[in-house]
């Protein structure tokens, strides 16, 4: 019987689901899986992307933890592919590798003034409030009027985190410095801008509805944005998501504006043209758009400006290239056919696979990474004849390699230590968890 020694790089949901699916698949051979993760903690964007006030989604880590705890996977945390371990190393120790490295960076946005001080990427802000160890711990929250560009769930997360009163976040796992930063924020108005109409947004009804439930925050929508064309009416009639979104917005349209201390404005049909300012962000200039009758929008030529002191662009995430692995610079993904990585000539690179956001781009929910993983694993299994033939397939030799290189890696027991430690810190102050943020401290607690 053959044994498949598999390396998975990236311990987010995509990598963990891939391991789970492979372990449960019908196969004629044994499997041994090593999961490499650059952070000392697993779970990728579930830990460092999903908003802290979404405990139900954060709870997906329980299912992921069960997979890690199945006893058939080794976790090597604090190991960065490309620095601590390379493709050549993997070829010497494994039959195949799956890359599930996701996306952590903001996609670029080309608008004059976007690089002014006071203009931020949503991904950086998310990494700050979710306590990612590789991002600065200080965040300048000094603006009273803020713009958020984008009409997806990340834009709504960012807008909600900016508008929500910090005390309402206290029961969550936000790090202390994040609570203090948000507590001192002078924000009064958060303006969300979307180029298209309310029937074309990308956010989900649940995320939208949640905004209306924020304590001491008024939702403001503008009547002029609801002049639906036939295509928009058809979308509302035929698509349940759009129907519910319209229903929620309709309720807000009918509502009297209250006297909350903070306001969250939704501006549809607003296409950003320029971020205005000399030394820092001072205003956003945008063009009103209108429905074009075919489900899209066109410019009206009417230009408006709203004063702001900070701006967040939430226009999507973007993957990062990995050493020695092909990369599609336009889409920010590893080029692949159903997870089989291909080179510039469209030829399959045997032994190398991809799954999750780095495979198909940064769209979709955690659940989608499961179907991704199924497709990729199907090929890993079928490609047995073309797996690599490693010189050192025994499980100890890769541990030796990391030790020889002086890599201070953590393992699954270490993660359990850190997890317990964070839960303990939380319990002491009546919260579910308090995250440890500094990498050194994470490693110290893990390896204690
Ligand atoms: C702000 C935000 C909020 C979201 N909210 C929700 C939500 O509420 N509900 C929902 O269902 N989905 C949500 N999503 C989507 C969800 O997070 C993704 O679908 C999912 O995390 C993608 O999984 P992944 O494993 O491909 O990538 P990731 O989760 O990004 O995992 C990739 C892992 O690879 C590691 N890695 C990267 N490079 C290397 C390297 N060189 N060496 C070693 N390790 C490496 C990373 O550290 C990371 O742990 C949200 C996403 C974002 C950005």
Per residue in 129-145, pLDDT (tens digit) is: 999 999 988 999 999 99
Does 69 have pLDDT greater than 60?
Answer: yes
Does 387 have pLDDT greater than 80?
Answer: yes
Nearest-CA residue for ligand 1 atom 14 is 365
Nearest-CA residue for ligand 1 atom 37 is 101
Each residue of 173-191: pLDDT tens digit?
999 899 999 999 999 999 9
Q: What is the mean pLDDT of residues 355-374?
A: 95
Q: What's the angle, vertex CA 250, arms to CA 245 and CA 255, rounded to 5? A: 130
Three-class SS state of 8: strand
Each residue of 223-271: pLDDT tens digit?
999 999 999 999 999 999 999 999 999 999 988 778 999 999 999 999 9
Nearest-CA residue for ligand 1 atom 3 is 50
Reported as a pLDDT band with limits 50, 70 and 90, residue 1 is low
Q: What is the mean pLDDT of residues 435-440?
A: 95
Q: What is the mean pLDDT of residues 419-438?
A: 93
126 lines ligand 1 (CB under 6 A): yes
Max Cα distance, the chain (Å): 72
Which atom of ligand 1 is nearest to 122's Cα? Answer: 1
Tell me which of 9, 16, 44 to substitute to probe ligand 1's pocket, judged by most ligand atoms within 8 Å of the beta carbon.
44
Does 121 have pLDDT greater than 60?
Answer: yes
CB 276 within 8 A of CB 284: yes
CB 33 within 8 A of CB 124: no
Does 295 have pLDDT greater than 80?
Answer: no
Mean residue pLDDT across the chain: 95
Q: Residue by residue, what is the 3-state secondary structure of 11-26?
A: CCHHHHHHHHHHHHCC
**Cα 146 → chain centroid:** 22
Tell me which of 102, 160, 324 to substitute to probe ligand 1's pocket, judged by most ligand atoms within 8 Å of the beta carbon.
102
Task: List Cα–Cα distances, 72 to 5, 22, 123, 293, in angstroms.
Answer: 12, 11, 33, 56
Distance of alpha carbon 272 from alpha carbon 287, whole angstroms: 6
Does 432 have pLDDT greater than 90?
Answer: no
Nearest-CA residue for ligand 1 atom 26 is 356
What's the predicted TM-score (pTM) here?
0.95
Tell me which of 11, 39, 50, 317 to substitute to probe ligand 1's pocket, judged by most ligand atoms within 8 Å of the beta carbon.
50
* Beta-carbon contacts of residue 445 (< 8 Å; ≥ 6 apart): 417, 418, 421, 436
Residue 336's φ and ψ, nearest 5 degrees, are -155, 160
Nearest-CA residue for ligand 1 atom 17 is 45
Q: What is the mean pLDDT of residues 199-208?
A: 93
CB 95 within 8 A of CB 5: yes
Give buried/exposed letters for 102-134 (b at 16+ CB in 10 A, else e). Answer: bbbbbbebebebbebebbbbbbbbbbbbbbbbe
Per-residue model confidence (pLDDT) at position 28: 87
Distance of alpha carbon 236 from alpha carbon 334, whole angstroms: 36
């Amino acid at each position: 019987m053959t044994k498949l020694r598999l390396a998975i790089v990236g311990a987010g949901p995509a990598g963990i689901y891939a391991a789970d699916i492979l372990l449960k698949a019908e196969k004629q051979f044994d499997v041994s899986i090593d999961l490499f993760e650059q952070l000392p903690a697993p779970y990728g964007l579930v830990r460092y992307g999903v908003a802290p006030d979404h405990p139900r989604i954060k709870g997906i880590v329980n299912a992921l933890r069960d997979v890690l705890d199945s006893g058939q996977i080794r976790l090597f945390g604090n190991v960065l592919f490309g620095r601590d371990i390379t493709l050549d190393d993997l070829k010497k120790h494994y039959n195949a590798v799956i890359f599930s490295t996701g996306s952590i960076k903001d996609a670029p946005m080309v608008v004059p003034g976007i690089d002014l001080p006071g203009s931020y990427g949503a991904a950086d802000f998310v990494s700050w409030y979710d306590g990612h160890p590789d991002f600065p711990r200080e965040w300048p929250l000094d603006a009273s009027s803020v713009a958020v560009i984008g009409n997806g769930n990340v834009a709504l997360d960012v807008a909600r985190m900016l508008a929500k009163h910090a005390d309402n976040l206290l029961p969550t796992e936000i790090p202390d410095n994040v609570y203090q930063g948000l507590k001192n924020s002078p924000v009064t108005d958060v303006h969300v801008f979307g180029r298209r109409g309310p029937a074309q947004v990308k956010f989900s009804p649940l995320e939208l509805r949640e905004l209306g439930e924020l304590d001491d925050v008024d939702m403001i929508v503008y009547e002029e944005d609801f002049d639906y064309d036939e295509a928009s009416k058809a979308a509302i009639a035929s698509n349940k998501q759009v129907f519910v979104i319209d229903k929620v917005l309709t309720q807000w349209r009918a509502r009297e504006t209250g006297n909350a201390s903070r306001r969250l404005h939704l501006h549809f049909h607003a296409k950003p043209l320029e971020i205005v300012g000399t030394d820092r962000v001072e205003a956003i200039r945008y063009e009103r758009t209108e429905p074009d009758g075919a489900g899209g929008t066109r410019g009206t030529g009417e230009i408006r400006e709203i004063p702001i002191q900070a701006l967040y662009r939430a226009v999507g995430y973007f993957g990062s290239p990995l050493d020695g692995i092909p990369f599609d610079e336009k889409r920010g993904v590893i080029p692949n056919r159903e997870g089989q990585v291909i080179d510039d000539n469209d030829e399959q690179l045997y032994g190398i696979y991809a799954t999750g956001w780095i495979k198909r781009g940064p769209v979709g929910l955690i659940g989608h990474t499961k179907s991704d993983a199924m497709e990729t694993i199907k090929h890993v299994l079928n490609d047995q004849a073309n797996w690599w033939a490693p010189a050192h397939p025994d499980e100890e030799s890769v541990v030796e390699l990391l030790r020889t290189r002086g890599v201070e890696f953590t393992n699954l027991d270490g993660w359990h230590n850190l997890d317990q430690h964070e839960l303990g810190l939380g319990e002491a102050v009546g919260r579910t968890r308090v995250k440890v943020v500094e990498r050194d401290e994470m490693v110290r607690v893990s390896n204690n």
